[in-house]
């Protein structure tokens, strides 16, 4: 599940009420809560948040407003933005037509495939230029870069040598988004900021 940073403390309190006061272990991803009844909860820190060694520090760290770069790429669309906390003061969406797959065979299929390949390359080149123009000038002020969409397309964009400083800030989190539009970019801000939580309920005892 994904929890807004402002609700993280309330969620932890609810977990403790349901399962008992948990022990807290620091993990690479954030914190692991282990309750007396056997339930566990992995709290995955949002991109750009400071490491924490205890629960209070974790909650405090995730609620601090962060400056995140956003890069969403899928097929012929790209959305780029800079989020400051919940706000999105910098944003741009660009689309370019990319030929769909064809069921034709032989020479026609090869011709359509070449056209589609060229259109895809042009769309990715546009995405690179957009990232260079909007994200690169702010790279020294970003806490992290959060990408979304098609992983291969994102990898291709960030492979441009000019974007090496951005690639170095890329978070492990990859947002699962549809074809980028302005509304999708706005929703990506919340997803990039969210605390991801994986809960494992206690296993029932097996009777003899």
Transcribe 1-57 into DSSP letters: -EE-GGGHHHHHHHHHHHH-SPEEEE-SSEEEEE-TTS-EEEEEPPTTPPP-SSHHH
Distance (Å, rounded) from C-alpha 192 to C-alpha 87?
12
Q: Which tokens go with 162?
A: 């000019």
The model's confidence at residue 119, banded by pLDDT at 50, 70 and 90, is low
Q: Give the residue with greater pLDDT, 110 vs 48.
A: 48
Percentage of the chain lying above the pLDDT 90 cut? 78
- Flag whether 206 is in a domain: no
Contact 34, 40 (CB under 8 A): yes
Whole-angstrom distance, CA of residue 73 vs CA of residue 79 = 7
Residue 26 Cα distances to 10, 93, 197, angstroms? 20, 38, 14
CA dist 200 to 17, 40, 43, 160, 204, Å? 16, 5, 12, 41, 12
Average per-residue pLDDT for the chain:
90
Residue 22 and residue 60 share a domain: yes
Which position has the token pair 């990232």?
131
Same domain for 179 and 97: yes
- Give a yes or no: residue 17 inside a domain: yes
What are the pLDDT digits (tens) for 149-174? 999 999 999 999 999 999 999 999 99
Does residue 143 have a pLDDT over 80?
Answer: yes
Do 29 and 47 lie in a common domain?
Answer: yes
Whether residues 6 and 102 fall in one domain:
no
**The predicted structure's pLDDT at residue 123:** 80
pLDDT band at 75 (very low <50, low <70, confident <90, very high): confident
Query: Can you tell me whether residue 73 is helix, strand or coil?
Result: strand
pLDDT at 117: 66
Query: Is residue 165 included in any domain, yes or no?
Result: yes
Measured CA to CA, the distance from residue 189 to residue 58 in angstroms comes to 20
The pLDDT value given to residue 147: 98
The answer to whether the beta carbons of residues 55 and 24 sit under 8 Å apart is yes
Give me the pLDDT at residue 107, please.
47
**99 and 160 together in one domain:** yes
**Structural domain span for residue 182:** 69-189
- pLDDT tens by residue, 6-63: 999 999 999 999 999 999 999 999 999 999 999 999 999 999 999 999 999 999 999 9
Give the burial class of 106: count Cβ atoms within 10 A of its Cβ; 0-12 exposed, 13-18 middle, 19 or more buried.
exposed
Q: Which of 9-13, 93-97, 193-197 has the lowest mean pLDDT?
A: 93-97
pLDDT band at 108; cut points 50, 70, 90: low
Q: For residue 73, list its beta bridge partners.
A: 78, 149
Domain count within the chain: 2
Prediction pTM value: 0.86
pLDDT of residue 106: 47
The percentage of residues in the chain with a pLDDT greater than 70, rounded to a whole number, is 86
3-state secondary structure of 144: strand
Rounded Cα distance, 98 and 91, in Å:
22
pLDDT given for residue 208 in this prediction:
45
Same domain, 84 and 151: yes
132 and 157, same domain (yes or no):
yes
């Amino acid at each position: 599940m994904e929890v807004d940073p402002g609700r993280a403390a309330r969620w932890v309190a609810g977990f403790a009420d349901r399962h008992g006061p948990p022990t807290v272990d620091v993990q690479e991803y954030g914190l692991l809560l282990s309750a007396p009844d056997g339930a566990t909860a992995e709290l995955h820190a949002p991109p750009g948040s400071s490491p924490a060694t205890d629960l209070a520090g974790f909650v405090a760290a995730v609620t601090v407003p962060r400056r995140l770069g956003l890069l969403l790429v899928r097929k012929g669309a790209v959305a780029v933005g800079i989020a400051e906390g919940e706000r999105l003061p910098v944003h741009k969406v660009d689309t370019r037509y990319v030929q769909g797959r064809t069921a034709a065979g032989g020479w026609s299929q090869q011709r359509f495939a070449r056209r589609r390949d060229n259109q895809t390359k042009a769309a990715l080149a546009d995405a690179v230029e957009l990232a260079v123009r909007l994200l690169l000038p702010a790279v020294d002020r970003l806490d992290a870069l959060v990408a979304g969409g098609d992983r291969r397309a994102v990898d291709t964009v960030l492979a441009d040598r000019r974007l090496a400083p951005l690639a170095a800030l890329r978070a492990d989190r990859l947002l699962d988004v549809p074809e980028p539009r302005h509304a999708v970019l706005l929703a990506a801000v919340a997803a990039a900021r969210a605390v991801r939580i994986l809960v494992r309920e206690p296993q029932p005892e097996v009777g003899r």
